[in-house]
């Protein structure tokens, strides 16, 4: 009777070890995806949200549609963007693609 219990215990331990060995590649793949794809994307998204949240008057902004202009009026939800002298558009703050600080870049040909 003792030999049967020892064999069944060994078979149970082997099954658990086999399960661990078969699951290990999946765990490693998930870890690689997390550290190479998910984590950097979350970091980049946090940085972008901080940039958009810190928009101030006279900052140069780029909208999601590609319009570049100067932020004239900033609310909680909307930003009024001057895209040409006297031409102002109202954009949803969340749709801004990029924010450059005041006096950031000079035009190339001026």
Residue-wise pLDDT for 13-38, tens only, equals 556 788 889 999 999 999 999 999 99
Instruction: State the pLDDT at residue 18.
Output: 87
Let me know: does 60 contact 97? Beta carbons within 8 Å.
no
Comparing 35 with 7, the larger pLDDT belongs to: 35
Mean pLDDT within 68-89: 94
Instruction: State the pLDDT at residue 101.
Output: 76
Sheet containing strand 96-100, strands side by side: 87-92, 78-84, 68-74, 60-63, 96-100
State the Cα–Cα distance between residues 44 and 70, nearest whole angstrom.
24
Is residue 40 over pLDDT 90?
yes
Q: State the maximum Cα–Cα separation within the chain, in Å, rounded to a whole number.
A: 95
């Amino acid at each position: 009777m003792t030999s049967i219990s020892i064999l069944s215990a060994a078979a149970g331990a082997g099954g658990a070890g086999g399960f661990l060995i078969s699951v290990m590649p999946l765990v490693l793949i998930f870890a690689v995806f997390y550290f190479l794809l998910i984590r950097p994307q979350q970091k980049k998204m946090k940085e972008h949200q901080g940039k958009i949240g810190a928009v101030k008057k006279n900052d140069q902004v780029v909208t999601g549609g590609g319009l570049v202009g100067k932020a004239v009026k900033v609310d909680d939800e909307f930003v009024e963007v001057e895209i040409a002298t006297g031409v102002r558009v109202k954009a949803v703050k969340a749709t801004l693609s990029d924010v450059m600080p005041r006096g950031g870049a000079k035009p190339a040909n001026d």
